[in-house]
Amino acid sequence: MLRRHAESRLVAFRLGSLPILDFEEFPALRGLEDRIEWRDLVPLERLPDEVARFDINLAPLEVGNPFCEAKSELKFFEAALSGVATIASPTGPFRRAIRNGETGFLASTPGEWSDALETLIADPSLGRRISTAALREVLWRFGPEQQLETMSLFIRSPSRRPRGCPSI
């Protein structure tokens, strides 16, 4: 993608002078060093501003890997709340959180990743529509009102209360 789109940049993070991306591990990136923007890791309170700088959020994980399957959909939430469309691997959490092509993209194969990236690069307004739909979805399904409703149902549920515990 970096080779096909001269205007594109890969944003990668580093901790001090230690980059998290090793060019030896990814030989396809050789010769593209000038197209990679290195950013310092930021404190959590500055993360929304950092994510909002992106046009596209990438969340690649190894599908089927127990560690990756146990990771949450947090990267999708952060991007949605910052107004950025996400392309993610279809791990369980991302499959449950993202409606493919509506609130983000799920990509399993190199071709799917390439197609999703090309689609969003070619049509920035689609990225804005998807990120708006993602924001609404995240707030509707996981926002404070929904959490209050879920907790209220839990508290009122007779099957969840110990014997002798009065309802509230």
Predicted pLDDT of residue 59: 96
In order along its 168 residues, the chain shows pLDDT tens digits of 999 999 999 998 888 888 777 778 888 888 998 999 999 999 999 999 999 999 999 999 999 999 999 999 999 999 999 999 999 999 999 999 999 999 999 999 999 999 999 999 999 999 999 999 999 999 998 888 888 887 888 787 766 555 555 555
AA letter at 95: R
CA distance 155 to 17: 49
**β-strands 56-59, 18-19 pairing:** unpaired
Domain boundaries, the chain: 1-41, 48-155
Instruction: Report pLDDT digits (tens) over 56-65.
Output: 999 999 999 9
State in words which class domain 48-155 has: alpha beta
Q: What are phi and psi of 111, to 5 degrees?
A: -65, -40
Predicted pLDDT of residue 165: 53
CA distance 97 to 73: 7
Predicted pLDDT of residue 158: 62
CA distance 1 to 4: 5
Predicted pLDDT of residue 61: 95
Instruction: Give the pTM.
Output: 0.83
Instruction: Give 84: exposed, middle or buried? Use CB within 10 Å, 0-12, 13-18, 19+.
Output: buried
- Using alpha carbons, list the distances in angstroms from residue 124 to 15, 34, 83, 121: 31, 24, 12, 6
